[in-house]
Structure 1
Amino acid sequence: MSRRFWRWQAAMWGVTAIIGIALHGRDSVGEIVFHVLFPATGLAFTSWMAVSLRQRALIPGPSRALLSWSAKHVMISAVIGGAINLLLHRYVLSEPVLVFPKVIWEYLLSATGWALVFGVWLFAFCIRDVFRATARAIEAQQRMQESMREAEARALRAQLDPHFLFNAINGARSLIGSDPDGARDMLSRYADVLRYATTRGRGLSAILADELNAVESYLEVERHRFSNRMTVQVDVPVEHRGITLPPMLLQTLAENAVRHGVSRLRQGGAVSISSEQQGGHVLLRVENPAPLSTGHDAVASLGIGLSNSRERLALLHGDAASLHIERAPDPDAMAELWTVTVALPLEHSTRSLSDG
């Protein structure tokens, strides 16, 4: 529990004690002791409930479980609190021993009073935690949006990069005479990439199928740039294409594969995108060859793209998603194979695309 909580507890029950002493403390020493021990009882039980509730992490959570837990603990606290209250009246205030059935009614009255106090306190505590959880969720959403805007800005800069734009226009121009349909197709693919980045890539999450369509268009444009030096392989089953992921995530990985991998190799290479199911996750992989380098320099060369991707994965899926990088050196080819694996939870998938 935070220091703020304990200050709030001390202030609430401390004020209760001060008011009780101010109103009744002049009568006797017993009254003063009673009005110190009475709020101390409340402080002990409410602190116990708060710590127990926080340990079980029921806020925010299923309302049925929270209500069941609250009713049980309020009842236990009220039953014990009622007994303590009778003991305080008997041994601190030196009141005469009550006889049956009056003692039962006094006990029930005291327990009911405690139940109301603890119930109101627990309600206020839960509301406070719900507001705090909501504030954290809003903050996480804002961080996600800021992160996505940064990723979108980088993607747009890459897509509007003079080399990329020149490649798209020059490639289309070279095909106009010999292959008009091919020229139109290349310009259409460039437009697809730009359209996705400026519209569908702005949401909080994206569907893999949409992301994959934009990435395939991007890789096709880049393939013309490298001619025979670059090939593209995509093997993502239909049943995996409904999974959700942060927008522009796959685009970022594809750009890294081209910029930091294939483009730096004289012999070029293949950019491969594949997926497989493993337990409750879909493993999305992007593979590409890259120049031999030390691990530190290689990871650093990828810049903030992968760091940004990890942050957006955490904001969207929490601990249920992850991103890992693996390298497999190939000294004979003077290169190494880079594999970026993104684990995405199946429970965040949409309906199967094969359904319609």
Structure 2
Amino acid sequence: MDTFHLGQTGDPSADVDAAWREPFAVAAPDALSRRREVALVLGFWLLVSPMWALSIYASAQFGRHPYSVLVAVGLGLSDAGCWAALSLATLVAARMRPPERSRRGRAVLFHLAVALLLVALRQVLLHSLIWLADGRPEARLYVIRGVLGIPSDLVVYLVLLLAAYGYEYFRRYRERLLASVALEHQLTRTQLRMLKMQLQPHFLFNTLHAISTLVHQDADRAEHMIASLSDLLRASLTHQQTQEVPLSEELATLQPYLDIEKTRLGDRLSVEMAVGPDTLDAVVPHLLLQPLVENAIRHGIAPRRRPGRVEVSAVRSDGRLHLVVSDDGRGITGPLRPGGIGLASTQARLEQLYGEAHGFHVRSAPGEGTRIEITLPYRAAFPTPGAPA
């Protein structure tokens, strides 16, 4: 049996620090953003350097090696450059080791090693320059000064690290918020188009044609089809501003469509529902199942004369919701391609809503039917306090 996969499957985190970790899932900044960050850091330390130069100049006047203004400015700029480089390195380290609770111990060891390395390099460079400015006296005193300066520099590194985490969290949270707003606008603009894709003209045409035929043959069945079509359109439009609904509502929306197809195809179509009671409160995309069931009926059952079966199942396992739409129809005779409107639109919606946390797989073989499997993170529409996910 041939198989192809649309989207990817991943396990969503259930850690209590998920809200902290999620913003770090956003992509790293682009080249322009990195240049702005470098300019901001350099600008800040450049503004600080005159104060350091003044402090170095003033303190040197009371020592054995007074500096000229030029030397003091050079030392101030050098120290500012060291801190600028250390600040940028701290930002890179923060991005390499985000504060995930499950890996917090490794992050502490990583930052401790980075801090000791960077601080030691700064002390070596700074006191080497001071030693040269002082006329190269005995180096022992400068080594002692450098060692004594490490603890205070470690405190500064900690402050810089916290600032880097705060900045990175804000940046990625803002990017995620902007992406969410953009997605909301995009989904709003495409709602009518999605509705047209899900309730395709051929389906409406076939339904109306069947109704017109039944009017003269079986008025009761024709009236039933009209009522079902009305219910389906009403349900579709009622939730047009809603992207996700409980599975129970999704199944209720699917039922009028199934009634129409059963009326149209008669004994040639049978439908089985295998939905676990613990899945009915699971949140799913609105109008997720209808285009998939329509695809199964249109391509698998309707083209042949003998009866066929469509099955819809839902199972909850390990914090995941597993949905399956299968049929025992003709199957896909040619190469498996995600080119159908129903499959392509479903794939795009799941990708936008869940990213890598979803799975979408299609299996089919000629004469053996088609099976569409969807996995989503389980989220209850009305969560019970203290209930397991």
- For the aligned pair, the TM-score class normalised by the smaller chain equals 0.7 to 0.9
Which of 340, 363, 376 does residue 326 from structure 1 map onto?
A: 363
Relative distance call for 1:137 and 1:92 in structure 2 (3 A) is farther
Aligned-pair CA distance for 1:136: 2.5
| CA distance in structure 2 between the partners assigned to 1:43 and 1:262 by the alignment | 68
Deviations 1:1-58 (A, max 9, x none): 5423442243234445766479879945533542443233223322222222223345
| CA distance in structure 1 between the partners assigned to 2:94 and 2:150 by the alignment | 27
Deviations 1:289-346 (A, max 9, x none): 34365342x536x62321111121122222221111112444xxxxx3111111122x
| CA distance in structure 2 between the partners assigned to 1:312 and 1:92 by the alignment | 65
| CA distance in structure 2 between the partners assigned to 1:201 and 1:152 by the alignment | 9
| CA distance in structure 2 between the partners assigned to 1:109 and 1:156 by the alignment | 68
Relative distance call for 1:42 and 1:169 in structure 2 (3 A) is farther
Relative distance call for 1:18 and 1:207 in structure 2 (3 A) is closer
Aligned-pair CA distance for 1:140: 3.6
Structure 1, unpaired ranges of 5+: 331-335
- Figure out how many residues of one structure are paired with residues of the other and give that number: 336
SS in 2 for 1:265: coil
Which of 71, 77, 81 does residue 30 from structure 1 map onto?
A: 71
What amino acid is the match of 1:343? T
Relative distance call for 1:28 and 1:173 in structure 2 (3 A) is farther
Task: Look up the match of 1:348.
Answer: 379
Normalised TM-score (structure 2): 0.68
Task: Look up the match of 2:14.
Answer: none
SS in 2 for 1:294: coil
Which of 351, 370, 375 does residue 314 from structure 1 map onto?
A: 351
**1:254 paired to 2:254:** no
Relative distance call for 1:352 and 1:168 in structure 2 (3 A) is farther
| CA distance in structure 1 between the partners assigned to 2:98 and 2:345 by the alignment | 29
Relative distance call for 1:141 and 1:51 in structure 2 (3 A) is farther
SS in 2 for 1:267: coil
**1:4 paired to 2:32:** yes
Aligned-pair CA distance for 1:134: 1.9
| CA distance in structure 2 between the partners assigned to 1:4 and 1:337 by the alignment | 51
Normalised TM-score (structure 1): 0.74
Relative distance call for 1:104 and 1:299 in structure 2 (3 A) is closer
| CA distance in structure 2 between the partners assigned to 1:85 and 1:171 by the alignment | 91
Task: Look up the match of 2:322.
Answer: 283
Structure 2, unpaired ranges of 5+: 1-27, 58-66, 385-389
Deviations 1:220-256 (A, max 9, x none): 1112212222222222122212222222110110111
What amino acid is the match of 1:43? A
**1:186 paired to 2:245:** no
| CA distance in structure 1 between the partners assigned to 2:215 and 2:134 by the alignment | 99
* Greater relative contact order, per chain length (Cα 8 Å cut-off, separation 6+): 2
Indicate conservation of the 8 Å contact 1:149/1:202, yes or no.
no
| CA distance in structure 1 between the partners assigned to 2:35 and 2:240 by the alignment | 46
Task: Look up the match of 2:134.
Answer: 94
Relative distance call for 1:205 and 1:169 in structure 2 (3 A) is farther
| CA distance in structure 1 between the partners assigned to 2:314 and 2:45 by the alignment | 65
Deviations 1:64-84 (A, max 9, x none): x8xx98xx88x9589769957
Relative distance call for 1:7 and 1:199 in structure 2 (3 A) is same
Relative distance call for 1:351 and 1:338 in structure 2 (3 A) is same
What amino acid is the match of 1:349? A
